[in-house]
With several copies, the nearest count.
Chain A
Amino acid sequence: MTPSSDFATLYQELILDHAGAGEGRGETTGFQPQSHQVNPTCGDEITLGVRLIGDRIDEVRWHGHGCAISQASASLLTGLVAGSSIAEARELLARFREVMRSRGTLELDEATFGDAVALNGVSRYVARVKCAMLAWVALEDALDHAPDA
C-alpha cells in the first residue's frame, strides 16, 4: 500500500533529506543567546544557539532529538535565518507561525522561504504543528534573550 498524497507531501524528499542532513546540527557551546525547548507530548527537545554580529544573525546551531518534521524544520530554519537581521528573523517567524497554525488555509511563499515551503504540508496536521514550530520557538526565545532585547 503506498502512502496517501497528503502523507507524501508531508514527508516529501526534501523533508527527509533535511531531517537526515540536519543543517546547523552541532555543538552550541559558545553560541549566545541560547534556548532549550521541550515538546511535552513526546519529550522531544532542542537546544538552539545563535551567534549574533550586531543585530545580525551570523550563524545558528542546534542539537536535540525529534521527528523528521522537527529536524527538517530546524535544518531549514538554519539556512533561512543565517545572515538576516533580528528584525527580519522575527518577521519570518511570525509568518511561519501564522501559516503553520492556519490549518491548511495559508502557504509559505517560495520567494521568502525557499526550500522551507516543503513544510507547507504540516499546517494541515494540527498535532504536528508543534513539531515544526519547535526550532522556531527556540529561536524566538533565544532572540528574546539577546543582549539588546
Chain B
Amino acid sequence: MPSEIETVALSEADVAAIRADFPILAERVNGHRLVYLDSAATAQKPEAVLDAEREFLIRRHAAVHRGAHTLAAEATEEFEDARAAVADFIGARADETVWTTNATAAINLIAYSLSNASSSAEFGRLALGPGDEIVTTEREHHANLIPWQQLAQRTGATLRHLPVDDDGALLLDELDGVVGERTRVLAFAHVSNVTGTLAPVSELVARARAVGALVVLDACQAVPQLPFDVRALDVDFAVFSGHKLYGPGGIGVLYGRRELLEAMPPFLTGGSMITTVTMERAEFLPPPQRFEAGTQPVSQVVGLAAAVRYLRGIGMDRVAGHGRGLGERMASGLAEIPGVRVIGNGERVGLVAFDLRGVHAHDVGQFLDDRGIAVRVGHHCAQPLHRRLGLTASVRASAAVHTTDCEVDAFLAAVADAAEFFERMR
C-alpha cells in the first residue's frame, strides 16, 4: 500500500540540479519552454544515460556471449554487470533477470512460453488447457490483456477479469469469486497507467498464493516511481520497460522466479540460447540465456544500467516522494476546475488522468500543446477501462523526477483556460 512506502521529498534545488541533466528540457515548443508531462508514455533521458551508451559504442562495442576477442569479452562483462545492477535495483538475482525488448515483449514471452509448455513433453508442468483460467483486470493496459486473450485462444483456457468500480478501483469484493481453484495466472498492473493509483498487491498476491496461481505483475508505471522489490512483493513475474525508467528504448526486463524460469520452455529461438543444435532439434541453455535469442541490444542494456545508477543517485524514496507530491498537486488542482472529473481516487504516483466535461481530450491536449505542455490524450491503451468509466478518451499528465511545482501550476492554469475557451462547446 502506498502509505507504507517511506518517502522523502526532493527540494527545489535538487530538482533544479536534476533538470540540468536532461538536455531536452531546454527545448522550446510553440514558443514556450517544453513542459513534458508525458513521462508515463516514455521518459526523457538524462545525459548520463546518453553518455554511457555513446561511450560504450565508441570504445567497447561488440557482440556478447559469442566472441573471444578483447572487445567481445569486455562487452560481455559489461553486459552482465549491467544485468546484476538492474537485478539488484529490483531486489532480484541476476539469473532471474531476462532482457526483453519492452514490457509488451516480456508479457508476450510469458504467455507464449506457457502455450509452448502446453505442446511440450519436456516442459509440460506449466501447461494450460480447457478448464484452466487466466485472470486479469478491467483496468489493464492492452499489453497486459491481449496477450492473455491470445493465450486463452491458443490453449482453450478461459480468460476472466476482476472488474473495477466507477472510479477505476479494483473491486476486491469480487476477488474470491473471480480468482479460484481453476486460476492458473493472475496478471495485473502494480500502478494503473490511467488512474495512477496502486493495486492492493498484497491482497491479490495472497489470493493467488491461496489458489496456487502464478502472479504476473505489470510494473511499468511502478518501477520508475516507487522503491520496488520483487521479493517483498512476492510476485512470480514482474515486467517493465527501460524507456519509461529514463533508459533507452528497445530494452525491457522480465523478472521471473528462478525455478519458474527453469521450468519454462523458450519463446524466441535462435543463436546464443542453445547448447547443441542438430538439423532435427536443439537443446537450450538455462535462463536467462534461454530467453535471449539473437544478438542482444548491448548498448541499451548499458544505458539502462546507467539509468538505474542515476535513479539510485537520487534515491528511490525521494523519487517516490517527489512523484507523490506532484501527483497530489495535479489531482487536487484539477478537482477545483469546473467541469473536470479526475479519474481514480486514493494515493497516487505522479500521474493523473481526467475528463473535461463536453470537451474532447484531443482538443484539451491541443490547447495545452499550444503552450508547450505535452500531455497524453486518448485511451492510453486501456479501452476497456475507459469504456467502463463512460469515456472514450481522457487527458493524462504524468510527472518525472525533473518535473517542478511550477510546471504543474502552468499545466493547471492551462487546463482552466482550456475549460473556459471550449465553454461554448459544452
Residues of A within 8 A of B (CB): 1, 3-4, 6-7, 10-11, 16, 19-20, 38, 40-45, 65-70, 125-128, 131
Asked if B274 CB lies within 8 Å of chain A CBs, one says yes
B52 within 8 A of A: no
Q: Which residues of B contact A6 (CB under 8 A)?
A: 30, 370
Least Cβ distance of A68 to chain B in Å?
5
B366 within 8 Å of A (CB atoms): yes
Contact (Cβ within 8 A) B363 A67: yes
Q: Are the C-beta atoms of A7 and B367 separated by less than 8 Å?
A: yes
Find chain A residues with CB under 8 A from B392 CB.
Answer: 42-45, 65
**How many Å lie between the Cα of A129 and that of B22 in the bound state?**
31
For residue B73, give the distance in angstroms from its CB to the closest CB of chain A: 4
- Complex CA gap A40/B64 in Å reads 13
Taking CB as reference atom, which chain A residue is nearest B421? A3
Task: Kindly identify which residue among A40, A42, A126 contacts B362, using a CB–CB cutoff of 8 Å.
Answer: A42
Check if A43 sits within 8 Å of B386, measured CB to CB.
Answer: yes
The residues of A that contact B60 with a CB separation of less than 8 Å are none
Q: Does B371 contact A (CB under 8 A)?
A: yes
Contact partners of B362 in chain A: CB under 8 A: 42, 44, 66-70, 128, 131
Chain A residues whose C-beta falls within 8 Å of the C-beta of B413 in the assembled complex: 1
- Flag whether B154 is at the interface (Cβ < 8 A): no
Other A-B pairs beyond A1-B417, A40-B275, A42-B68, 18, CB < 8 Å: A4-B30, A6-B30, A38-B275, A41-B68, A42-B379, A43-B276, A43-B386, A44-B360, A44-B362, A44-B392, A44-B393, A45-B392, A67-B363, A68-B363, A68-B422, A125-B73, A127-B73, A127-B76
Cβ of A68: which chain B residues have Cβ within 8 Å of it?
A: 359-360, 362-363, 422, 425
Kindly report which residue of chain B lies nearest to residue A44, judged by CB atoms: B392
Contact size class for B? 35 or more
Nearest CB in chain B: distance from A10 CB, A = 7
Which chain A residue shows the least CB distance to B69? A127
Q: Are B366 and A42 in contact (CB under 8 A)?
A: no
Residue B285 at the A interface, CB < 8 A? yes
Name which residue of chain B comes closest to A4, CB basis: B370
User: Is B31 a contact partner of A128 (Cβ separation < 8 A)?
Assistant: no
The 9 closest A-B pairs by CB, nearest first: A67-B362, A127-B73, A67-B360, A42-B378, A7-B370, A127-B68, A43-B379, A43-B392, A38-B275
Chain A CB within 8 A of B93 CB: no
Q: Can you give 16 A-B contacts (C-beta < 8 A)?
A: A1-B371, A3-B421, A4-B370, A16-B422, A16-B424, A19-B425, A20-B424, A40-B275, A41-B66, A43-B392, A67-B360, A68-B363, A69-B362, A69-B363, A126-B73, A127-B68
Q: Which residues of B contact A38 (CB under 8 A)?
A: 275-276
Residues from 275 to 328 in B contacting A, C-beta threshold 8 Å: 275-276, 285, 289
Taking the complex as formed, is B77 at the interface, i.e. its CB lies under 8 A from any CB of chain A? yes
Across the two chains, which residue of chain B brings its CB closest to A103? B77
Cβ of B179 within 8 Å of any chain A Cβ, yes or no, is no
In this complex, the member of A1, A7, A20, A67 whose beta carbon has the largest number of chain B beta carbons within 10 angstroms is A67
Q: Is the CB of B367 within 8 A of A20?
A: no
In the complex, chain B residues 39-95 whose Cβ is within 8 Å of any chain A Cβ = 65-69, 72-74, 76-77
Complex CA distance for A12 and B240, rounded to whole angstroms: 43
Beta-carbon contact of B361 and A42 below 8 Å: yes
Residue B101 CB within 8 A of the other chain: no
CB distance from A4 to the nearest CB of B (A): 5
Q: Does B353 contact A (CB under 8 A)?
A: no
Q: Which residues of A contact B30 (CB under 8 A)?
A: 4, 6
Residues 349-360 of chain B, each 1 if its beta carbon lies under 8 Å from chain A, else 0: 000000000011
Whether A16 contacts B425 by the Cβ 8 Å rule is: yes
Residues of B contacting A10 with CB < 8 Å? 366
Q: Is the CB of A40 within 8 A of B68?
A: no
Q: Quick check: A127 and B67 within 8 Å, CB to CB?
A: yes
Q: Flag whether B383 is at the interface (Cβ < 8 A).
A: yes
Interface residues of B in 88-120 (CB under 8 A from A): none
Q: How far is the CA of A66 from the CA of B377 in the complex (A)?
A: 12
Given contacts A41-B65, A65-B392, contact A20 B370 (CB under 8 A): no
Chain A residues contacting B383 (CB-CB under 8 Å) are: 43
How far is B278's CA from A43's CA once the two chains are assembled, in angstroms?
12
The CA-CA distance from A40 to B282 in the complex, in Å, is 12
Q: Are A40 and B274 in contact (CB under 8 A)?
A: yes
Write the nearest CB–CB distance from B139 to chain A, whole angstroms.
16
- Docked complex Cα distance between A69 and B370 (Å): 15
Given contacts A6-B370, A7-B366, contact A42 B393 (CB under 8 A): yes
B360 partner residues in chain A, CB cutoff 8 A? 44, 65-68
Assembled-state Cα–Cα distance A4/B413 (Å): 16
When distances are taken between beta carbons in the complex, the residues of chain A under 8 Å from B421 are 3, 11
